[in-house]
Amino acid sequence: MLKALKVLLLLLLITAMVWVSTLWRWQTTNTDPSGQDVAVQLVLLPLALTAALLLALWLGKKIRKTLESPTQPPAAKAAQSPLGKAPEKLSAD
């Protein structure tokens, strides 16, 4: 529930910032926006920016978790036997 509230607040903050900057620009340049301009700038842009930010945060968390977790190289994992002893090497005679 708390995570959903944070996402909603982030969406509202980004939407407010986009709306203020877009409406200010339209007003200062005396632009008469079309329906497509309104849809893209006031609806799709805040949604896309929020999705991009959430994706970047999620990927950063995944990368950080991967880098922090101690892992063995694949060769070391393959060399271990189920009993915990290293397999004996075969001689090439």
So what's the pLDDT on residue 89? 65
Please indicate, yes or no, whether the overall pTM of this predicted structure exceeds 0.85: no
pLDDT band of 73, cuts 50, 70, 90: low
Residue 29 has pLDDT above 80, yes or no: yes
Q: What is the DSSP letter of 69?
A: S
61-83 residues labelled b (16+ CB within 10 A) or e (exposed): eeeeeeeeeeeeeeeeeeeeeee
So what's the pLDDT on residue 18? 97
